[in-house]
Structure 1
Amino acid sequence: MTRPPLLIDGHLDLAYNAGLGRELTGSVEQLRAADPVSGQVATTTFPEMAAAGLRLCLGTLFAAPRTPDADGYTDAAGARAQALAQLDQYHRWEDAGHVRLLRSRGDVAVHLEQPDAPLGVVLLMEGADPIRTPDDLPFWVDQGVRLIGPAWGRTRYSGGTDAPGPLTPEGRDLVTAMRELSVTVDASHLDDAAFWDVAEIGPRVIASHSNARALIPGNRHLTDDMARAVAQSGGVIGLVYLSRFLRPVTDDVRVPLEALAEHARHYAALVGWEHVALGTDMDGGFGAEKTPEGIGRYADVPRVLTVLPEDVRADVAGGNWARWLTTHL
């Protein structure tokens, strides 16, 4: 029997989903039967991730800002409170044996040698507003945060998705502090101006969940030059499983699985397969109603490998993230 390839996901909003009231410890069927989140067909629970063979993920601390349609934080204190609540959720899951928090490259290497271990989680802060000032960064590093995306939409630190702009002065100070403390910048959600400010400062950079702007317009996605810059820093780019991030379609259209392969091949032609990975963002504000055809639940995630060249499947599935994590974390 052929052993399935190692699976690592570069972006999952696990604690955020728990904060919405989702119970992730049961089956997907159980979650769908009692899902407090309307308008989404849930895909992701711990048993479901195990069924896919997922061994490790970058799990987010994502503080949601207030919008016209939803409540959320309005200042740094509110953002910090959300992130701390999510951090506590990961610790409670760890105490219950559902996850294992990983803080170093050595932790990752040991974890990947233990196939029966719970899901490994490396903490990624998505949107830096929970950091009150750049002087607050050591606190979050001590809590285990190893990657930070300065932006989501606009933050106090950076221009972001649908919010053009550079790093703010505080943002430049934060990214400089990240470089000094060996905290990696997640370029996903950075506006172009902010991205190139980050590149000038020179920290390590990855893109946890970013598709190719050459195939889908908008500043949520990486230009070819941005993808090259991520690769030149040694970084990896994770592919997002959201249909409208793969082809220019409306939210009621699910694209074929081949659309994911198109983005993978595009990046590979630019920077090589060694920089292409998965960052599904499954349940990151969408469910199975918006995933590519054939991806109806998290256990289906590895199906993308069937439309990729056979000799790169293991690297895209998890080998590239494993190499990066055991070298740079």
Structure 2
Amino acid sequence: MTTPWTGLLIDGHLDLAFNAGMGRDLTGTVMQLRAADPVPGQVATVTFPELREAGLRVCLGTLFAAPSTPSMPAGYTDARGAAAQALAQLDQYHRWQDAGLIRLLSSGADVTTHLSDPAAPLGVVLLMEGADPLHTPDDLARWVERGVRIIGPAWGATRYAGGTDAPGPLTSTGRELVGAMRDLKVTLDASHLDDASFWDAAEIGPRMIASHSNARALVPGNRHLTDDMARAIAATGGVIGLVYLSRFLRASVPDSERVPVEALAEHARHYAGLVGWERVALGTDMDGGFGAEKTPLGIESYRDVPDVLNLLPVEARSGVAGGNWARWLEATL
């Protein structure tokens, strides 16, 4: 039995409000959620009590508007529909805050104060995953006023950028948006950006992170970062979060196969060799379209997330667990 992690834990990517929008009640235990889970085929791992049990203090919580696809026909088809989804999720975060379940954080000072209070609820920094909820780049300031501090322009393809399995550069509107993000000091999340869009964005010069991206040197595909992309993110002072999805950890792994936790450590060590341990962090994406049936072996619920730390150099563990995100958030938000 491994010793439970008792240090600071911060996660770079959790789809909390999206899960609530699918009917999941995150206020009870994981076992209670599993017993009445409205989402078929997934073994839930995330609830607020579970996150507290794991010691999670802060996360980047997403506003994720789901586009219409054959598997999700009720998704959005235009900017109005995308905005409606994002606003509903924003309202969910505020209702959770009103209930004392979370605390929304919008500045580095907020993060510092929050981390000084061990009794505080989960701190949430808002990250918009996919920029389609912005009708135009002129909407950016309004979303910043609502608390959004990080935006990933793509998921699949959006009106702004090429994305996962959807190659393409930034559109002209995307270039305008990334320029506005740079000027307003809104951080760009490079996760899901296609290569052409990534390098277009890097040339414009915003702050960059990858909230949940593994290494393409170990797993092919434009969902993952090349070594040069990782270096470019680090050059802006950014941090890279590791995703806990098995098929993102070992090449050619079937979607139904779970890999050893060591596979996570391999990606961490790869990034550390490129950009240093101070740029490596967690971005689990737990319950982001998958559950424990697809996490690494031994990660049966969120409280098991820190187990990977035992496979890392002792001197790197506290930074990967949360210190690297804390430093970046306090300095950048």
Partner of 1:6: 8
Residue 121 of structure 1, aligned match among 109, 121, 124: 124
Match of 2:305 among 301, 312, 323: 301
Q: Does 1:39 align with 2:13?
A: no
- 2:284 and 2:71 map into 1 onto residues whose CA distance is 25
SS of residue paired to 1:263? helix
Runs of 5+ in structure 2 lacking a partner? none
Letter of the aligned partner of 2:41 in structure 1?
G
Write out the 4+ residue segments of structure 1 that deviate beyond 6 Å after TM superposition: none
User: C-alpha deviations, 1:222-245, integer Å up to 9, x for none?
Assistant: 000000000011000000000000
User: 1:4: Cα distance to partner?
Assistant: 1.3
The match for 1:48 among 47, 50, 55 is 50
Counterpart amino acid of residue 18 in structure 1: A
Conserved 8 A contact 2:5-2:306: no
Partners of 1:265 and 1:174 lie apart in 2 by: 34
Equivalent of 1:312 in 311, 316, 330: 316
Query: Which residue is 2:246 aligned to?
Result: 243
Other-structure match for 2:272: 268
Cα separation, 2, equivalents of 1:212 and 1:279? 13
CA distance in structure 1 between the aligned counterparts of 2:196 and 2:152, rounded to whole angstroms: 15
For residue 113 of structure 2, what is the amino acid of its counterpart? V
1:246-261 alignment runs, 5 A limit: 246-248=249-251, 249-261=253-265
3-state DSSP class of the match of 2:168? Answer: strand
Note if 1:183 corresponds to 2:186: yes
- Cα 1:177/1:293, change in 2 over 3 Å: same
Match of 2:293 in 1: 289
Partner-residue secondary structure (3-state), 1:59: strand
Q: CA RMSD in A?
A: 1.0
Question: 1:280-306: CA deviations, max 9, x gaps?
Answer: 000000000000011000010011111
| Cα distance in 2, alignment partners of residues 218 and 116 from structure 1 | 42
CA distance in 2, matches of 1:112, 1:131: 31
**Which of 131, 138, 145 is 2:148 aligned to?**
145
Deviation at 1:2, TM superposition (A): 9.5
1:328 maps to what in 2? Answer: 332
Match of 1:57 in 2: 59
Q: 1:220 to 1:2 in 2, by over 3 A?
A: closer
Counterpart of 1:227 in structure 2 is 230
1:74 to 77, 95, 98: 77
Q: 1:96 aligns with which of 80, 92, 99?
A: 99
SS of the aligned residue for 2:244 comes to coil
TM-score between the two structures when normalised by the length of structure 1: 0.99
Shift of 1:98: 0.3
**Alpha-carbon displacement from aligned partner over 1:34-59 (angstroms, at most 9, x marks no partner):** 00000000000000000000000000
Secondary structure of residue in 2 paired with 1:159: coil
Q: 1: CA distance between counterparts of 2:313 and 2:71?
A: 43
Q: Which structure 1 residue ranges, 5 or more long, are not aligned?
A: none
State how far apart, in whole Å, the 1-side matches of 2:200 and 2:255 are: 33
Whole-Å separation in 1 of the counterparts to 2:120 and 2:13: 20
Q: Work out the CA distance in 2 between the residues paired with 1:49 and 1:103.
A: 21
Using the alignment, how far apart are the partners of 2:314 and 2:237 within structure 1? 23
Aligned-residue offset at 1:279: 0.1
Q: What is the rounded CA distance, in whole Å, between the counterparts of 1:253 and 1:2 in structure 2?
A: 26
Could you tell me the percent identity over the aligned residues?
Answer: 76
